[in-house]
């Protein structure tokens, strides 16, 4: 992709997500994600109903009149986008691939973060860390993240989310909000990595799904190619038996995944490539 085409794609992405960020997600984002803690603001006179533990005894003794400490929430957060860029993310039966969807989600989340004056960074992961962009502020920084995500050609096609989660924990020493954007098709025990990360950080899982993974389209006998392993297999998509096996396997995977996320206490939603991502994302924010 040449520079002109790249800039055009980023500009279109910015225009598409700008309205969503401003009118839909900004308020939801602000209320869904709290600051790191409380910062001291001022001392004022004691009012009936104030908590005793907020009394500043030194000031009270000095003026011989009860005074309390007032605290404001520290709003500034660090948002990390941990994005799966493995081979399976290039899958998409309709006009949009999982990578395209991940790009749109990254745009909305990063613009929401900067509109709240938060830092945003990114880790692109296959079965290793492909790219790390340290957290920063401002529109320019968000556009750099989007440009890198558009341009990246991963060195590996496999998936090992644990590598990205381990790198995330090692680089982010202060509490962060981490959005893990992936289809979670990973033979490694990534759930353990999520649970370890959750002890210190606020973890949110956004699962990318394509309609063809749920229901096989009627396209006759086709050769299916695994983008991560290179393995191929022939399937008769007109066969009801093949369709049922395909759908049942997907539903079992989905049920098991949903159960594990709930058991781990990690906020999670599925987002389909052929559907609007606004509703599931807003619902996730409201439920927090």
> What confidence tier does 72 reach under pLDDT thresholds 50, 70, 90?
low
Lowest-confidence segment of 59-63, 169-173, 238-242 by average pLDDT: 238-242
In the chain the beta strands, taken as DSSP E runs, fall at 37-45, 67-74, 78-84, 119-125, 129-136, 177-182, 202-209, 221-225, 232-236, 267-272
Residue pair 34/73 in contact (Cβ under 8 Å)? The answer is yes
Using DSSP bridges, classify how beta strands 177-182 and 202-209 pair: parallel, antiparallel or unpaired.
parallel
Domain ranges of the chain: 3-32+76-287, 38-74
The CATH number assigned to the domain with range 3-32+76-287 reads 3.40.50.410
Pick left, alpha or beta for residue 117 (phi over 0 → left; psi -120 to 50 → alpha; otherwise beta): left
Task: Choose the weakest-confidence range: 56-70, 98-112, 231-245.
Answer: 231-245
Handedness of CA 208, 90, 92, 26 (dihedral sign): positive
> Would you say the pTM of this structure is higher than 0.85?
no
The pLDDT assigned to 240 comes to 79
Taking the C-alpha atoms of residue 114 and residue 138, their distance in angstroms, rounded to an integer, is 6
Given a cut of 90, whether residue 215 has pLDDT beyond it is no
Band of pLDDT at residue 184, cut at 50, 70 and 90: very high
CA distance 288 to 150: 30
- Specify the DSSP element, H or E, that contains 273: none
């Amino acid at each position: 992709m040449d520079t002109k085409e790249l800039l055009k794609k980023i500009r279109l992405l910015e225009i598409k997500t700008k309205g969503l960020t401003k009118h839909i997600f900004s308020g939801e984002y602000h209320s869904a994600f709290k600051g790191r803690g409380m910062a001291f603001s001022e001392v004022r006179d004691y009012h009936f109903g104030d908590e005793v533990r907020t009394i500043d005894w030194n000031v009270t003794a000095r003026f011989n009149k009860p005074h309390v400490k007032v605290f404001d929430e520290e709003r500034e957060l660090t948002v990390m986008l941990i994005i799966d860029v493995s081979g399976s993310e290039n899958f998409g039966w309709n006009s949009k691939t999982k990578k395209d969807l991940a790009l749109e989600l990254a745009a909305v989340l990063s613009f929401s973060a900067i509109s709240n004056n938060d830092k945003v960074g990114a880790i692109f992961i296959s079965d290793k860390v492909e790219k790390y962009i340290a957290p920063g502020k401002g529109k320019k920084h968000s556009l750099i993240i989007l440009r890198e995500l558009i341009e990246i050609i991963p060195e590996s096609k496999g998936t090992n989310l644990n590598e990205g989660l381990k790198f995330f924990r090692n680089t982010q020493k202060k509490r962060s909000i981490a959005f893990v954007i992936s289809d979670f098709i990973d033979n490694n025990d990534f759930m353990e990595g999520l649970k370890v990360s959750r002890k210190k950080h606020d973890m949110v899982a956004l699962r990318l799904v394509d309609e063809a993974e749920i229901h096989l389209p009627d396209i006759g006998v086709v050769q299916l190619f695994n983008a991560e392993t290179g393995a191929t297999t022939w399937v008769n998509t007109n066969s009801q038996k093949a369709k049922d096996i395909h759908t049942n396997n997907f539903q079992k995977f989905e049920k098991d995944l949903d159960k594990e996320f709930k058991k781990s206490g990690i906020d999670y939603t599925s987002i389909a490539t052929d559907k609007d991502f606004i509703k599931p994302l807003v619902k996730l924010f409201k439920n927090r």
